[in-house]
Amino acid sequence: MLQGKQSWVFQNHPVIKSTGVSGGPFEANGRLAADFDVLHDDLWMGKTSYEQAHRILLEEAAQTAMKKGELKQEDIQFFLAGDLINQITPSSFAARDLQIPYFGLFGACSTSMEGLALASFMVNYQGANNVLTGASSHNAAVEKQFRYPTEYGGQKPPTAQWTVTGAGVALITKNQSDERLPYTTSATIGKVVDMGLADPFNMGGAMAPAAADTILAHFQDLQLDPSYYDLIVTGDLGKIGRETVIALLKEKGLTIDEKIMKDCGLLIYTNDQPVQSGGSGAGCSATVMYGHLLNEMKKGMYKRILCVATGALLSPLTVQQGETIPCIAHAVSIEI
């Protein structure tokens, strides 16, 4: 049901029955390694291109989610996925192997919550019994496409972020009230916000205003106070973006206790990994939310999380053509 201007309330509490999370060697050395279901010690993952390896990550995450959820491909009505690669081919090729009716999405690094919002809406209204939704990225495939092949060893400014090699997939099903599982309660769909920043090496700074816009809209639409949540976690703003979003919200009159504001891009790696401002990529919020944070919820650490995935909707071509960076953020509320 529409609530306010741009939010949905999911009265039937679609549940996140299971998830699958896969990652690469850099993630295996990260802070959250124990929360990954599958970890590869090689970026190629036995394939001959990084794009094929990218697809493998998503397929493994989807297969893991189905296995843990004790469902087979034929039980799943829809697969909603997207990534950062041109024409989202890793997602579409994974959909070919999965043979599940498929909605291709593009929201850059906001894709995880774009998919979770749509999947929750579908399940809430009996549009599906079981939906798989996910997002993924592969560091070397993304760097090659957006910046330089990693083999060049190009240097980056401290505002740059490190694209996560990983995929996170969630299996959304109808609420079965006998199980104690996390469920989604609402979603806020973002507008495109562009404050005129044009530096593709400072995505966190560019995306922060979009995150602030969606967070403000969420509390206004739902008529909630930030204290409703134990945790408000942004997708991949990194150090610089996180500071910016807190400042922007304060400026707009919404003061949130900084202790409950975290960022997936700051959670995933250790302090001594060379990730500059933090992690990023469509796989960042997908792996951290569907892996680490849901595990923490199940352990009782959090009861209500607002996950605000942020995306920079640029392309190498728009940067070359001198355009600024349009950004977006979608938020989904997950409770247990």
Pairing of strands 7-9, 15-23: unpaired
Q: Which stretch binds a second copy (CB under 8 A): 120-128, 177-185, 268-276, 293-301?
A: 120-128
Q: Which stretch binds a second copy (CB under 8 A): 57-65, 154-162, 261-269, 317-325?
A: 317-325
Binders of a second copy among residues 72 to 91 (CB under 8 A) are 77-78, 82, 84-89
Contact 111, 105 (CB under 8 A): yes
Q: CA-CA distance, 163 to 143, in Å (whole number)?
A: 8
Give the three-class secondary structure for 327: strand
Question: Which one of the spans 5-13, 178-186, 261-269, 295-303 is the region binding a second copy (CB under 8 A)?
Answer: 5-13
Q: Is 49 in the site for a second copy (CB under 8 A)?
A: yes
CB of 107 to a second copy, least distance (A): 5
Q: Which listed residue (53, 58, 119, 128) binds a second copy by CB under 8 A?
A: 128
Is there binding between residue 206 and a second copy (CB under 8 A)? Answer: no
For a second copy, the closer of residues 23 and 311 by Cβ is 311
Counting contacts by CB under 8 A, is residue 52 touching a second copy?
yes
Query: Cα–Cα distance between 251 and 35 in angstroms, integer?
Result: 36
Q: Is 136 in the site for a second copy (CB under 8 A)?
A: no
Residues 6+ apart with CB under 8 A from 16: 170, 171, 172, 181, 182, 183, 184, 290, 294, 334
Residue pointed to by tokens 């944070």: 293
70: helix, strand or coil: coil
User: CA-CA distance, 102 to 285, in Å (whole number)?
Assistant: 21
Name the DSSP class of 191. Answer: P
Which residues touch 51 (CB under 8 Å, ≥6 apart)? 85, 89, 90, 138, 141
d(CA 62, CA 56): 10
| 200 binds a second copy, rule: CB under 8 A | no
- Shortest CB 108 distance to a second copy, Å: 7
The residues in 170-189 that bind a second copy, with binding defined as CB under 8 A, are 189
Residues at the contact surface with a second copy, assessed by CB under 8 A: 1-2, 5-6, 8, 49, 51-52, 77-78, 82, 84-89, 92-93, 95-96, 99-108, 114, 118, 121-122, 124-129, 189-194, 313-318, 321, 323, 326, 328
